[in-house]
Structure 1
Amino acid sequence: MFSDREHVDFLNGGSVLAAVRRRLGELGFRDELEPAADGVDAVLHLTSGGGASRSYGVQVKQRLTAELATAVHIPPAYPALVVAPSISDPAADRLRARGIDYVDTAGNARLAWDDVLIDIRGRRKPTVPLARTAPRGSRAFGKAGLKVAFVLLSWPEMASLTLRELAAASGVSLGTAQMVVDELTAGGYLYESAGGRRLARGGELLNRWSEAYSIALGPSLALGEFSAGDLSWWPDSEHELRTAGALVGGEAAASLIDPHLRPSSLTLYVEETPLSLIGRHRLVRAEEDGNVHLRRRFWQVPEETAWSVPSTLVYADLLASGDPRQREHGDRIRTSDDRLTRLDRT
């Protein structure tokens, strides 16, 4: 979300959205824009030359890959409109498949409602860079800041910890913990109460965190890709995995939340490469994507009863996979998992 001054810039020009609004005008649309919260950057009211109208919840993306297009959250109040400097064909295909309309600054667009159907493809990205505005809390969504936000989302009661305790749980410096708390407080995601800090707008924060995770933090966690001819062993290996210091993530962990899911891969979060597991189950290092993904555990909060990662990370992994099937799994557990539904109620 934007500060008051940034909203003035956002509405009046010098932004990706300003360029997109000019493109919409060239297509014969009249528009009215108003700032908004609750998971969208603005509400855009569009009216076609024929009088058909629709109000969109706008999501401004400075970068949009096919994987991120899979992870775009659809707000409940309005249909989503994604705007970006450039939307590639693969990203556009993902958005169309999900029924999400979009426009980029080159004029590529898909808008469909009532008698309106706009489908423009193949226009090249502008060569002149656009002015950018920095959303409030942008440092909190960098690699280190995301670790702190993950702890707050996964264990909201830890918001009341001292900064030193929060830093230790997140595996970051005290200064980073202070910066993240300050920025999330300024952004309305944390507030002070008689009992200490509390988390607010948890569902919106989860949306922002899971998208930023796929860009800034997730890729840096990779320890190795392996291939296994047989993955049937892992559901009965809780003790073995615990002994190896491995926590189940990704779609395998999602299947523990929803037993109807049938995972085709296994993601393990570990503090070091589990050589015993690799040898015992004949995991072979894969040059490209394998079906066993090893990732570094980045938090220091023990859950004695859990052998899978928190569902906040399961959800983010599913969205970051870029696989529409896993995205559907993510949407399903978002509405069925207690931890995630509590966040959406904050």
Structure 2
Amino acid sequence: MSAGGLDITTGAGVTRTYGLHVQPRLTPQLATAVHVPGSPPTLVVAPSISEPVAERLRARGIDYLDTAGNAHLAWGDVLIDVRGRRKPAVRQPKAPARGARAFGRAGLKVGFVLLSWPEMAAEPLRVLARASGVSLGTAQMAVDELATAGYLYEGADGRRLTRGGELLNRWSEAYSITLGPALALGEFSVEDLSWWRNSESELVRAGAQVGGEAAACLLDPHLRPASLTLYVEQTPLALIGRHRMVRAEGTGNVHLRQRFWQAPGVDTWTVPSTLVYADLLASGDPRQRDHGDRIRTSDDRLTRLDRT
């Protein structure tokens, strides 16, 4: 992803300044995860924007255009809405993305630890690798690529995280399509979902941490959760039996996911807000996406990242 600015002037002489968000590829999940700052308005530019992607962007009030001529620009009395154009099929050599491996499945685990506990950047690589649940070689690769991309620098006291807000944007987008789906352990249905609110000690004993919209409602009560996401090291059979969870395929309201990290705070009953935020974006639900935008501006950990 790259960013810049663009002025668009109508025939009547009215000008609007956009902040550009250039994406080499856009899926509906990524369209949901695109971070939109308050000002200036965002213009998403991509080689091709399919109708499902365009629909999500329009629903979020984000203008866009692609190389085929599809476009949506709307402000004041201006409305440009072009749909259905197809980009000619042209085979082009694929250039390696900058820091691509750092945003692959294993590299994203390292990025999660650095974003959630920025002080871990100064730790020896073996400590960072253990906390991230990856090999020493993977930790070295991720650190090197993140440093090359400008997200880590060597200070007087060791490595430090910088441009944390930008890194969170890239990490959240990659998480939604690469790491998140790989963490799924199973889905279950339960009639009464309210049990978890008064079960902090039970969840800690079971080695489970709450994520997704359930954890988000603890950060900001505006969202009433319709599902429960639990990050666990292994399937909590006793917990499943006690609360009469029934296995479901794609329709459950309890989602079990693999917890891969071993870092400060694993004895708490909620996952770090960085992962809560990414879960909300990855859900594809505009209601959860709006809540993610809200906690991005109110949660201490996330606002600190945006200030780096």
Settle same-fold status: TM greater than 0.5: yes
Aligned twin of 2:118: 156
Q: 1:102 aligns with which of 54, 64, 75?
A: 64
Matches within 5 A, 1:1-346: 40-130=2-92, 132-303=94-265, 306-346=268-308
Give the CA deviation at 1:49. 4.3
Give the CA deviation at 1:47. 3.3
- Shift of the 130–121 alpha-carbon distance from structure 1 to 2, 3 Å rule, reads farther
Give the CA deviation at 1:104. 1.8
- Give the paired residue count: 308
- Shift of the 199–68 alpha-carbon distance from structure 1 to 2, 3 Å rule, reads same
- Shift of the 121–304 alpha-carbon distance from structure 1 to 2, 3 Å rule, reads closer
Determine the C-alpha separation between the residues in 2 that align with 1:88 and 1:227. Answer: 33
Determine the C-alpha separation between the residues in 1 that align with 2:288 and 2:52. Answer: 17
The farther-off stretch of 324-333 and 52-61 is 52-61
Give the CA deviation at 1:78. 2.4
On the 8 A contact 1:105/1:126 being kept in 2, the answer is: no
Give the CA deviation at 1:243. 1.2
Determine the C-alpha separation between the residues in 2 that align with 1:94 and 1:158. Answer: 36
- Shift of the 176–67 alpha-carbon distance from structure 1 to 2, 3 Å rule, reads same
Give the CA deviation at 1:142. 0.7
Deviations 1:136-189 (A, max 9, x none): 222211111100010000000111001111111111111111111111112211
Determine the C-alpha separation between the residues in 1 that align with 2:6 and 2:148. Answer: 25
Determine the C-alpha separation between the residues in 2 that align with 1:58 and 1:131. Answer: 24
Give, as a single letter, the amino acid of the residue that structure 1 aligns with 2:119.
E
Give, as a single letter, the amino acid of the residue that structure 1 aligns with 2:294.
R
On the 8 A contact 1:52/1:116 being kept in 2, the answer is: no
- Shift of the 315–273 alpha-carbon distance from structure 1 to 2, 3 Å rule, reads same
On the 8 A contact 1:151/1:299 being kept in 2, the answer is: yes
Give the CA deviation at 1:196. 0.9
Determine the C-alpha separation between the residues in 2 that align with 1:50 and 1:182. Answer: 50
Give, as a single letter, the amino acid of the residue that structure 2 aligns with 1:53.
T
Determine the C-alpha separation between the residues in 2 that align with 1:199 and 1:287. Answer: 40
Determine the C-alpha separation between the residues in 1 that align with 2:302 and 2:92. Answer: 36
On the 8 A contact 1:110/1:117 being kept in 2, the answer is: yes
Q: TM-score, normalised by structure 2?
A: 0.94
Q: TM-score, normalised by structure 1?
A: 0.84
Can you give the 5+ residue segments of structure 2 that lack an aligned partner in the other structure?
A: none
Give, as a single letter, the amino acid of the residue that structure 2 aligns with 1:243.
R
CA RMSD of aligned residues (A): 1.7
Determine the C-alpha separation between the residues in 2 that align with 1:295 and 1:122. Answer: 38
Determine the C-alpha separation between the residues in 2 that align with 1:302 and 1:156. Answer: 11
Determine the C-alpha separation between the residues in 2 that align with 1:44 and 1:137. Answer: 26
Determine the C-alpha separation between the residues in 2 that align with 1:52 and 1:336. Answer: 35
Q: Percent identity?
A: 75
Deviations 1:63-97 (A, max 9, x none): 32222211111134422111223222222111112
Give the CA deviation at 1:300. 1.2
Give the CA deviation at 1:56. 2.0
Determine the C-alpha separation between the residues in 2 that align with 1:44 and 1:164. Answer: 44
Determine the C-alpha separation between the residues in 1 that align with 2:278 and 2:295. Answer: 11
Give the CA deviation at 1:133. 4.5
Give the CA deviation at 1:305. 5.5
Give, as a single letter, the amino acid of the residue that structure 2 aligns with 1:257.
L
Determine the C-alpha separation between the residues in 1 that align with 2:296 and 2:164. Answer: 13
Determine the C-alpha separation between the residues in 1 that align with 2:81 and 2:17. Answer: 19
On the 8 A contact 2:29/2:177 being kept in 1, the answer is: no
Determine the C-alpha separation between the residues in 2 that align with 1:43 and 1:178. Answer: 35
Give the CA deviation at 1:210. 0.5
